[in-house]
Amino acid sequence: MIPFLDLRDAYLELKSEIDTAVLRVLDSGWYVLGEEVENFEAEWAKYCGAEHAVGVANGLDALVLSLRALGVGHGDEVIVPSHTFIATWLAVSAVGAKPVPVEPDKNSYNIDPTKIASAITDRTRAIIPVHLYGQPADLDPILEIARARGIAVVEDAAQAHGAEYKGKRIGGASDLVCWSFYPGKNLGALGDAGAVTSNRPDLVEKLRVLRNYGSKKKYVNNVAGVNSRLDPMQAAVLRVKLGYLDEWNGRRNALADSYSSALEGSGLILPTISSWAKSAWHLYVVRSPNRDHLIDILKDAGIGTQIHYPIPPHMQEAFQSSSFAPEQFPLAQKFAGEVFSLPMGPHAPMNVSDAVCRSIENASAPH
């Protein structure tokens, strides 16, 4: 059996260091915010090439609090990709704003910058590009459009830890960059965790207040905030794993190269990486109109897969009140019916690409 992802392997490789870090927190007697979180925030900001990082409870909170820090709320519109995980949309609806979907580029699966301008109205307050599957979105034209119109850009980088855009790591280009450290991410905690990186101290200060009950000083609440603080235990684990992120991303890249070589000519639509991008290879996503059949074939061969994502946000029941129709976003609809993800991670066996290739060839061979 080759699982889609085995999180225990990541722990076992670093068991001694992680155990030591966790015991350090337990022994400290300080279990909310504090030095462990502050150290991780500084280390993560430096890694991302940003001036600041603010640790929060999870990736969705990172998005929601970022929109709140920008003052986005009822009556506002936020441009989002039509093809993405639903959290991107949920953050917009959580602050009372309206998600305005824009179709993806057919090669990268990321939001198509050429389609953004036509979606902007006088109510547009922000654009949320998602670095989907680990490949950076094309930021320069998005930032150019946004700055020309006074619109904020909030990057959803939940899948892009260590990815690079035009030679610079994702994390400091726009107003706010939001991260998830969910256990399955390239930099994953042992539970939910998140952060926001930014070069804007004004927004960073607002985020620090919002995440802590809206309080700068204990029992003095300046705004109606929430409790969304990065846990010191998770911060300690993330500090250990951060030291291995580049090495582990290198393993992901090697596996992606192996897949691309083995599956050339297989009939699958393989990932296309732009010349200016360095993917973090969070996922290796392929497409086929015969997806469900191929998934069954791979399952029978003991190879785990997942679908990212089977239902586009505009077709989720959660957004049916918005009256979106399937045909409004044909690319999102098409991708939802064709994409599937092959095993990917720093501990996946390199020979999985050969096993996948053999299974697909057998499925295609005449019987």
Residue range 210-230: mean pLDDT, rounded: 95
pLDDT at 325: 86
**Strand, helix or coil for residue 212:** strand
Q: Which amino acid is at 197?
A: T
Please give the model's pTM, rounded to 2 decimal places: 0.96
**CA dist., res. 136 & res. 223, Å (int):** 34
Residue 233 has pLDDT above 60, yes or no: yes
Residue range 259-271: mean pLDDT, rounded: 95
Residue 290 has pLDDT above 70, yes or no: yes
96-132 b/e (C-beta count within 10 Å ≥ 16 → b): ebbbbbbbbbeebbbbbbeebeebbeeebbbbbbbbb
For residue 218, give Cα distances in angstroms to 99, 146, 222, 240.
Answer: 35, 37, 10, 31
**Strand, helix or coil for residue 364:** helix
**CA dist., res. 128 & res. 132, Å (int):** 12
- Cβ atoms 160, 134 nearer than 8 A: yes
pLDDT at 365: 58
Placement of tokens 């029978």 in the chain: 300
For strands 284-287 and 339-342, give the pairing. antiparallel
- Cβ atoms 198, 51 nearer than 8 A: yes
Residue range 201-217: mean pLDDT, rounded: 97
Which of 135-144, 149-158, 280-289, 315-324 is the least confident region? 315-324
Between 195 and 327, name the one with better pLDDT: 195
For residue 367 the two structure tokens come to: 């019987």
Residue 357 has pLDDT above 60, yes or no: yes
